[in-house]
Chains A and B, each alone.
Chain A
Amino acid sequence: MNELEILKKLAAAAAREEVPQVRVGSRPIEIPTAAEDDFSRPLVWIAGFASAMALPAIIFAVYTLDSWTDPLLGVIDGLNWILS
């Protein structure tokens, strides 16, 4: 008898063995996914709101920085206002 015949003989006998039944809980897969959705949904809104608020702040910051770094602009603006 060669090694394959031995292997197949054992496999044939082992095939009659009853496999333990497993009850897979599919709920744990679904629940974390649903929980993730519930958890991430408010975060998406907060992130959107924060982005919307950040945009005018950035524009204002750039404008202010320009005024600070170029004081002549402020003087010219003042003169324009007086002349007008």
Chain B
Amino acid sequence: MVFMFLTSGLIASPTENTLLSCQEIDLRDINSCLDGDGNAYARLVERNQSMVAARMWRFTRDKTAHQELVQEVFVEAYLSLSKYGAKAPFQHWLSRIATIVGYRFWKYRSRERSRSSIPIEEELDQLVAAEPESMDPSVAADVLHSLLEQLPPRDRLVLVLRYVEDRSVEETAELTGWTGAMVKVQSWRARKKLRKLLQDAGVEVE
């Protein structure tokens, strides 16, 4: 039904055309997969694995764990594929699963070890003084990860979604399953903790 609606929809621009085509293809493969076509899911994986890999790289810097997380996202998506209602594009749905898997990973890791004591002060001081263009991307990503790793998973998640990925309150709420008000409160608390963390690391914060 949804598939038919999408195919009969008006195509306004080349971008929208491409977007609609992707949705159509995804929906067709989802239906084929649910009908028992084993290769349909392979095609879905092939099209979306780069997006999921980029997303999961925010949750870990360990390449083995990263690979496992990406795999886990696709396994979870496969197992709940019949619940996909096509209310939103498949990528959004997959992104939500990725967020849940990543958040669960953080929670597991935070239970497994006590708060890390990664030495971030030196690099952070130097980085804060530099312009983003002149920073080494890997070093910046390492420092960012180490910094956020010292926060509880909830704070970390909201900061990543709202400010690292630059998502709106509504988008963050959709991905996390929280209410808009909860996202705002959590962001405020997380910012406060981040400020304290930076101050403790000897960084001047206004």
Residues of A at the B interface (CB closer than 8 Å) are: 1-4, 6-27, 29-30, 33-34
Contacts and interface: CB of A to CB of B under 8 A. Distances in A.
A3 B49 CA distance: 33
A3 B198 contact: yes
Contacts of B53: 19-22
Contact of A11 (B54, B78, B163, B198): B163
A19 B67 CA distance: 11
A34 to B, nearest CB: 7
Given A7-B159, A14-B140, A19-B54, 14 more contacts: A1-B128, A1-B204, A1-B205, A1-B206, A4-B191, A8-B163, A10-B127, A10-B144, A13-B133, A13-B136, A14-B164, A17-B138, A19-B57, A34-B38
B6 interface: no
The range of chain B's interface size is 35 or more
Nearest to A4: B163
Contacts of B141: 10, 13-14, 17
Contact of A23 (B38, B49, B203): B49
Main secondary structure of the interface of B (DSSP, over half): helix
A1 B204 CA distance: 8
Given A2-B195, A13-B140, A27 B42 contact: yes
B49 A11 contact: no
A3 to B, nearest CB: 4
B175 interface: no
Most buried by B among A11, A26, A33: A26
A29 B133 CA distance: 41
19 contacts: A4-B191, A7-B144, A7-B164, A9-B132, A10-B140, A10-B147, A13-B127, A13-B137, A14-B164, A15-B137, A17-B137, A17-B138, A17-B140, A19-B53, A19-B57, A24-B71, A24-B74, A30-B42, A34-B38
Contacts of B20: none
Contacts of B138: 17
Interface of B: 38, 41-42, 45-46, 49-50, 52-54, 57, 63, 66-67, 70-71, 74-75, 78, 127-128, 132-133, 135-138, 140-141, 143-144, 147, 159, 163-164, 191, 194-195, 198, 203-206
B74 A11 contact: no
A22 B128 CA distance: 31
Contact of A6 (B78, B137, B205): B205
Contact of A22 (B49, B137, B143, B205): B49
